[in-house]
Amino acid sequence: MAPSVTTCAYQRSTTQKPRGVIKLAPASSMKPKIKPSTLDRYFWYTSSDGVMRLATSTDGTVPEQINTYDFNPALFVREPYPSTFPPGGIWPPEEPCDLLCPLGADDGYCVGDQCYTNKTCKNALCEHSFTNWCQQTENWEDHFELRKTEDLGIGAYTKRAWKAGDVLGWYAGELKVKSYDGSSDYLMQLDIGVLDTSSRAQQGGTANGTPPSPTRQAPSAPHSEPEPDLVYIDAAAKGNWTRFINHSCDPYASYRMRRVGNMRIMTVEAVRDVPADVELTVSYGYDYYGIGTVKVCRCGAENCISRLRGRGSGLKKGKGKGKGRVRVKKCKRLVAPVEEG
């Protein structure tokens, strides 16, 4: 029987929790000429010269710092009822949880509303709250900092060590419709509705943790599987610190589809122990830097996919796949939890 759509307990937050005072570098010339009240909204990082600077997106725009989903219901009014939603769902969605209500078997694990641990909750009816989660993850600067990397723009660095399995953060941003055809370096794909684990496993073993097949993203590919219903989380203009995590082919972390109470989220979780004071990296998935793509990965890892191509390993370069397409990061999916007792 198809699961029913639960009612939403998500509270819309009207105000951002005030953040700590931002300490600017002593050089008065470095002081930005913007009102102090707007300081908190933007990202700052400390450059190697010790000066705090405003972080920019790779296209030069200054991103606003939000730690929630930015949701515009008007965007969804003309969108068709998602095929992955059971009959009777709320459509068009009026708030984020109407869209991101966890409905599938993969959603068994809630990460609770306390971040920075590896504790999960399997109670499908738990009351962990997304509002609490957002508040709790606002203190990211206690654990991570942004720094200018040598050649990958800005990166996120650890201030303390982490254990494999720890939840390090989550991907916040503006929710965009499936038909969104913009392009940005900060797009994350998030499936909606009931997740079809069986077909995903056939397509590349997402259920066992390997990245999804690149062919899933090619609409014109013959015999390609139908695209799942999804939304994009776009962190280009608004997002949280995780938008600055760079890719590595030998990453410290992975994106995971999870839930907090009745809200589906994309977490960043350590896949191995992470020391303090290193650049935190994640895998963007094969659609981003994989075999069929044109982008060149410069992560420098021994097993870097672009390096292997260069060595004539038999991996072919992409023939333009990815150009003009929505390029997104993808998450790994969890195996459905086994019921105890």
Interface contacts to ligand SAM, rule CB under 6 A:
57-58, 152-155, 185-186, 243-244, 246-248, 297-299
Give 244 or 252: the residue with its C-beta nearer to ligand SAM: 244
State in angstroms the smallest separation of the CB of 282 from ligand SAM: 9
Residue-wise DSSP of 258-314:
EEETTEEEEEEEESS-B-TTSB-EE---HHHHSTT--PPP----TT-HHHHHHTT-S
Nearest residue to ligand SAM on Cβ basis: 153
Residue type, 180: Y
Closest CB 93 distance from ligand SAM, rounded Å: 26
Residue with tokens 């641990």: 117
Amino acid at 220: S
Give 58 or 199: the residue with its C-beta nearer to ligand SAM.
Answer: 58
Nearer to ligand SAM, 231 or 282 (CB): 282
Whole-number minimum distance, CB 81 to ligand SAM, in Å?
31
Measured CA to CA in angstroms, residue 163 lies from 71, 113, 167, 179 at distances of 33, 19, 9, 38
The position carrying tokens 């509303």 is: 113
**Between 265 and 297, CB nearer to ligand SAM:** 297
CB of 20 to ligand SAM, least distance (A): 23
Q: In what order do the strands lie in the sheet with 281-282?
A: 167-170, 263-270, 253-260, 281-282, 246-247
* Least distance (Å) between residue 68 CB and ligand SAM: 19
Alpha carbon 255 to chain centroid, angstroms = 6
Nearer to ligand SAM, 248 or 262 (CB): 248
Considering the complex, what minimum distance in angstroms separates the CB of residue 316 from ligand SAM?
19
Return d(Cα 206, Cα 213) in angstroms, integer: 8
Shorter beta-carbon distance to ligand SAM: residue 69 or 255: 255
